[in-house]
Amino acid sequence: MIGSILSDVLLVFGCCLVSASYNKDVLYFNTAVAQSLSSLMTITAVTIILPTALYSTFPSANLEDTIISFSRSTSIVLLALYVGYLYFHLGTHKHLFESQKPDDSNESPRHGTPHSTYITSTLKLVAAAIVTVICTRFLFESIHGTTKVTGLTKTFIAVILIPIASNSPEGTAVIAAAQVGDVDSAIGVIVNSTLQIGLFVIPFLVILGWMIYQPMTLYFETSHTVILFLSIIVVNHLLQDGRYTYIHGVMLVAL
């Protein structure tokens, strides 16, 4: 989870800025959207780092139950915040997230009835989900052997390599969008992916574990949470500034 967020906000976002602003002067973000999304990312990072701070500050004895209760209550708040974000994004302020690319009047008409298109899309989605589950199973089963052959640690594979591989299709798409000048949409996709993980996926797993009597918390390794928090600070500073050049992208990739 942490690796996916870091891959999005550092590697993919950095590549977007490089592809969009190389050989160009200073460019600008949509500051209204950027500042709103950066604030949500900060909240996400804070809620992830708090359980780690509790573990580091207080004695570990009898603290586990407190962390579990804290994680469950915080997860409920995060899910409510995600619902509010979706209402903001898809409802009241959806115009802020619309692409600024000009409409193509020569776009070819779509063929097929809506009903047939819906059925086809659903079947494709189900097939893709099944294939993804199978591939994921083989991927995780191969990690142990990979560590023995290559000498790489499981942490490096889980935090660096797997997130890069899993985010590569989305990353390629947003980098291509940024290259043609649609940087605001690219930023929206990147931050939406980050918020989806931090405000929905992680809290949902905590609540799901609560429902099936498998305690799960928001606690992550101290080094991971510190790296995440510092990365979010750097990205937020860039978004709040509202201006960027390709050197900003190079710095993010270097991190």
Tokens 């790296």: give the residue: 227
Q: Which fold has domain 1-101+121-254?
A: A middle domain of Talin 1 (1.20.1420)
Domain boundaries, the chain: 1-101+121-254
Distance between CA atoms of residues 2 and 7, nearest Å: 9
Average pLDDT value for the chain: 77
Residue 9: which of 230, 229, 246, 194 has the closest Cα?
194
**Which pLDDT value is given to residue 187?**
77
**Which pLDDT value is given to residue 70?**
83
Question: Mean pLDDT for each 10-residue chunk of the chain (255 residues)?
Answer: 80 82 72 72 81 73 76 88 84 66 47 66 84 80 80 76 76 79 76 83 89 85 82 80 77 80
**Which pLDDT value is given to residue 104?**
46
**Which pLDDT value is given to residue 60?**
61
Distance between CA atoms of residues 28 and 24, nearest Å: 12
Distance between CA atoms of residues 33 and 95, nearest Å: 10
**Which pLDDT value is given to residue 159?**
74
This prediction's pTM: 0.74
